[in-house]
Amino acid sequence: MKDRSSVTVMDPHACSVPMVDAERVASVRQALPSEDTVQDLAQMFGLLADPGRLRMMAALLEGGEMCVCDLAAATGQSMSGASHALRLLRMRRVVKVRRSGRMAYYQLADSHVRMLFDLAITHARHTEEGIGDG
């Protein structure tokens, strides 16, 4: 019986040197977002990792400005669940609210959010269909 503890398994993705292109590494490091920005992005993407909130965003992408009761009906959520999701999305400035009397109307916050979400949906659909770049 062979002793497997002495067998070395090489990682096919491992480099044999700590750095190949020092100039490129320095350039990339300088262009990376700040730690605060990375933390903000992680919080936002974590917020968007919830299927209910994603449905809410998809409804707003499709329907434009909508009140909470219509959003709840469109996404199959309870009113309290929809309100909670919208509150979280509003805190991270993913959606914005317009008040008219006692009614509150929500929409995606800006063109960046719309574009990000639209691209994510397009990517997911292409992945489902087996369409890719390579």
79 in any annotated domain? yes
Cβ atoms within 10 A of the Cβ of 46, count?
10
8 in any annotated domain? no
Higher pLDDT, 2 or 27: 27
Number of domains in the chain: 1
Query: Over 60: is that where the pLDDT of 6 sits?
Result: no
For the ranges 1-5, 16-20, 89-93, the lowest mean pLDDT is seen at 1-5
30 in any annotated domain? no
45's enclosing H/E stretch is helix 35-47
- pLDDT single digits (tens) 41-98: 899 889 889 999 999 999 999 999 999 999 999 999 999 999 999 999 999 899 999 9
Can you give the residue range of the structural domain that contains 59? 35-129
- Taking the model in full, what pTM does it have? 0.72
Residues in the chain: 134
CATH number for position 83: 1.10.10.10
What pLDDT was estimated at residue 70? 96
Q: Which residue, chain included where needed, has tokens 């919080």?
A: 43
